[in-house]
């Protein structure tokens, strides 16, 4: 693999060696395209390389959160748990790299700094921070939707003498917090898993909560061998059934097709309880209107709040743990005893709405005028999601237009895949696509195959550049927001809206509804790439 300006350019430069980058490389090679993956980290795996915090595990069942493009892979690979933990997911990514002999196409420890469209050569000129550079006809940004950690600018944080850890940049060596007084800031999916796992290990755990989360039980455990055999006997059809669901998973527990308002209160309670006992995201499929009807949604929210009140013994703590926003509006957490953790004598909750963080000190932090003495702080404060990583690149399109200017008012894109003014560039799992609401591996398989089909097709027709039109882009962003407006997703401050990052444009970034998205992408291809300019144009 050439690692200097290549003549001719390589077909594809892929940024990121997570699941998206690995599958893009494999698919490109299968289609006879030359491709190189450049990855900033020291290993493959993306999300599962970096997020090594205590208790990190996937919240979609392992049998679903896995690739289906190769039947031999899905038959050979054996998951050990219903919800795989981070080390097993990282092993799976490494297995893919080895199984498909991808490693000679991946440069690790190499951070891309600049990518500029070269109008004369009709290719991307891409340079790494270390000065190496490449020319590529196409650029695939497989940088992931959740890859730039959000580290809030807390006053005095640098004065804190203890250890500061971020869940999304957890050290590779073991971190021993046993016997320490630990504070966790943040109670999203990462915080919920960290808090539950750390509580029994540490001397004292103080949870700093700004917004309470809804969490449903995972009921994790060893993978049911009978279920595994049943799924493996029917894996292609199982995958197909999942692809037809709104989120690319959950076909084992399909959503019901009637309203929460169409049954009696007793029946509703019984049905919520049934799904609570099964565990996982299926609670939101108890009725068909929980995501679109605020009245129905409130009934589901109250069901979980009643669970919190019944689990958490101290009424004041229980009240502070009860969310008031619509359930599902922020990503639902899937937990293993999260609320019960607050019954432990060594765990206490600080409600930042009543007592905001004022500053950090050498020995802890002050919130609401009270100093909390801590030996270590875990920031579970999430990500500058969907756009954060790309906006930190020096990425320039036609005429030197900077991505920072193009996205000043929010991430303009078409199909969640392409940008006007940035020819031959593709984002995987980016804004405007369904990845945030979808089993991300299913989303990756679809987008990679769409990109590969497009490149193969356009190469056969002699097309050199593909570029979204500004009109198609504007219409697409309006469509994404119109779909969200028909749901409860605009009803809270989520990372979907960019609301977790001060100053970020407030625009709904992910698209809800995987099957309609797949259909739209297929239609665009069948209509000769409607919404794109092709050059030279196809006769
Ligand atoms: P997150 O959902 O954005 O949660 C971040 C938490 O930090 C929130 O509680 C947030 O409060 C709090 N926070 C942020 N800035 C703060 C500040 N300045 N002061 C106090 N609190 C602050 O991030 P995450 O938990 O890392 O999860 C992000 C996404 O990653 C998830 O939604 C999910 O899609 C994915 N994820 C998945 C898994 C899994 O598969 N099991 C695990 C982890 C993450 P506010 O809510 O008030 O902003």
Backbone angles phi, psi at 70, to 5 degrees: -130, 110
CB proximity list for 121: less than 8 A, separation 6 or greater: 9, 135
Q: Count other C-beta atoms under 10 Å from residue 244's C-beta.
A: 12
Ligand 1 mutation pick, 215, 500, 503, 510, max ligand atoms within 8 A of CB: 500
Q: How far apart are CA 434 and CA 93, in angstroms?
A: 22
Q: CA angle, corner 404, sides to 400 and 407, nearest 5?
A: 110
Query: Can you tell me the mean pLDDT for 284-292?
Result: 98
Averaged pLDDT for residues 120-141: 97
Confidence of residue 118 (pLDDT cuts 50, 70, 90): very high
Burial 125-137 (b: 16+ CB within 10 A, else e): bbbbeeeebbbbb
Asked whether 339 and 207 are in contact (CB, 8 A), the reply is no
Residue nearest to atom 2 of ligand 1 (CA): 188
Q: How far apart are CA 425 and CA 267, in angstroms?
A: 51
Residue 7: per-residue pLDDT: 59
Q: Tell me, what's the pLDDT at 539?
A: 64
> What confidence tens digit (pLDDT) does each residue in 153-167 have?
999 999 999 999 999
Mutate to test the pocket of ligand 1, among 146, 188, 323, 436 (most ligand atoms within 8 A of CB): 188
Q: Stretch 187-211: mean pLDDT, rounded?
A: 98
Residue 67: closest CA among 25, 27, 19, 114: 19
Q: Model confidence over 397-429: pLDDT tens digits?
A: 999 999 999 999 999 999 999 999 999 999 999
Instruction: Indicate whether 516 pLDDT > 50.
Output: yes
> At residue 90, does pLDDT exceed 70?
yes
Name the residue with the closest Cα to ligand 1, atom 31.
189
Residue 31 structure tokens: 């289609």
Residue 105: pLDDT above 80? Answer: yes
Q: pLDDT at position 242, please? A: 97
Reported confidence tier of residue 8, pLDDT bands at 50, 70, 90: confident
pLDDT tens track for 244-253: 999 999 999 9
pLDDT band (50, 70, 90) for residue 537 = confident
Q: Which of 148, 190, 280 to mutate to test the pocket of ligand 1 (most atoms within 8 A of CB)?
A: 190
Candidates 51, 31, 49, 41; CA nearest to 107 is 41
**% of the chain exceeding 70 in pLDDT:** 99
Of the candidates 384, 383, 393, 387, which has an alpha carbon nearest to the alpha carbon of residue 112? Answer: 393
Looking at ligand 1, which atom is closest to the CA of residue 210?
Answer: 47
Where are any strands of DSSP class E within 35-178?
A: 35-38, 106-107, 112-118, 123-128, 133-141, 163-166
- What is the β-pairing status of strands 106-107 and 35-38? parallel
pLDDT at 203: 98
The helix (run of H) or strand (run of E) holding residue 347 is strand 347-351
Which residue's alpha carbon is nearest to atom 15 within ligand 1?
A: 381
Is a pLDDT exceeding 80 seen at residue 55?
yes
Length of the chain: 539
Residues lining ligand 1, CB < 6 A? Answer: 57-59, 146, 152, 167, 185-191, 210-211, 331, 352, 357, 380-383, 493, 495, 500
pTM above threshold 0.95: yes
- Positive or negative, the CA dihedral 119, 121, 124, 129 is negative
Nearest Cα to Cα of residue 279 among 196, 193, 216: 216
Do residues 114 and 126 make contact, with C-beta atoms less than 8 angstroms apart? Answer: yes
Which tens digits make up the pLDDT trace of 453-512?
Answer: 999 999 999 999 999 999 999 999 999 999 999 999 999 999 999 999 999 999 999 999
Mean pLDDT of 383-387: 98
């Amino acid at each position: 693999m050439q690692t200097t300006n290549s003549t001719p350019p390589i077909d594809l430069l892929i940024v990121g060696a997570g699941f998206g980058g690995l599958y893009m490389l494999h698919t490109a090679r299968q289609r006879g395209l030359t491709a190189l993956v450049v990855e900033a980290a020291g290993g493959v795996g993306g999300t599962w390389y970096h997020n090594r915090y205590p208790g990190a595990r996937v919240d979609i069942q392992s049998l679903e959160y896995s690739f289906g493009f190769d039947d031999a892979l899905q038959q050979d690979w054996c998951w050990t748990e219903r919800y795989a933990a981070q080390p097993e997911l990282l092993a799976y990514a490494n297995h893919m790299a080895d199984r498909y002999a991808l490693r000679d196409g991946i440069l690790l420890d190499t951070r891309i700094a600049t990518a500029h469209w070269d109008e004369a050569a009709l290719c991307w000129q891409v340079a790494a921070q270390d000065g190496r550079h490449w020319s590529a006809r196409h650029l695939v940004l497989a940088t992931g939707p959740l890859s730039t950690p959000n580290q809030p600018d807390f006053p005095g944080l640098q004065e804190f003498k203890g250890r500061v850890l971020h869940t999304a940049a957890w050290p590779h060596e073991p971190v021993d917090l046993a016997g320490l007084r630990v504070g966790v800031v943040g109670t999203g999916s990462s915080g919920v898993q960290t808090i539950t796992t750390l509580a029994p290990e540490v001397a004292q755990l103080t949870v700093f909560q700004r917004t309470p989360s809804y969490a449903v039980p995972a009921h994790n455990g060893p993978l049911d061998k009978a279920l595994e055999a049943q799924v493996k006997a029917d894996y292609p059809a199982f995958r197909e059934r999942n692809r037809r669901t709104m989120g690319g998973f959950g076909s084992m527990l399909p959503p019901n097709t009637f309203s929460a308002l169409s049954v009696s209160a007793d029946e509703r309670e019984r049905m919520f309880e049934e799904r609570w006992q099964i565990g996982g995201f299926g609670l939101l499929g108890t009725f068909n209107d929980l995501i679109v009807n605020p009245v129905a949604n409130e009934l589901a929210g109250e069901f979980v709040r009643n669970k919190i009140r019944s689990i958490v013994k101290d009424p004041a703590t229980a009240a502070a743990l009860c969310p008031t926003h619509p359930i599902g509006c922020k990503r639902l957490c899937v937990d293993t005893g999260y609320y019960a953790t607050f019954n432990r004598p060594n765990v206490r909750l600080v409600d930042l709405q009543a007592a905001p963080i004022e500053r950090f000190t050498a020995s802890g932090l002050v919130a609401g005028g009270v100093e909390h003495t801590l030996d270590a702080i875990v920031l579970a404060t999430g990500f500058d999601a969907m756009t954060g990583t790309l906006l930190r690149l020096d990425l320039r399109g036609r005429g030197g237009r900077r991505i920072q200017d193009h996205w000043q008012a929010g991430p303009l894109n078409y199909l969640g895949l392409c940008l006007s003014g940035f020819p031959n560039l593709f984002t995987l799992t980016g804004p405007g696509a369904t990845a945030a609401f979808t089993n991300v591996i299913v989303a990756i398989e679809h987008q990679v195959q769409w990109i590969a089909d497009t490149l193969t097709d356009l190469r056969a027709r002699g097309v050199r550049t593909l570029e979204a039109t500004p009109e198609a882009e504007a219409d697409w962003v309006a469509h994404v927001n119109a779909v969200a407006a028909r749901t409860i997703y605009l009803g809270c401050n989520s990372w979907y809206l960019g609301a977790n990052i001060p100053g970020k444009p407030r625009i709904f970034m992910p698209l809800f509804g995987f099957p309609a998205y797949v259909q739209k992408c297929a239609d665009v291809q069948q209509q000769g790439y409607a919404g794109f300019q092709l050059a030279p144009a196809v006769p």
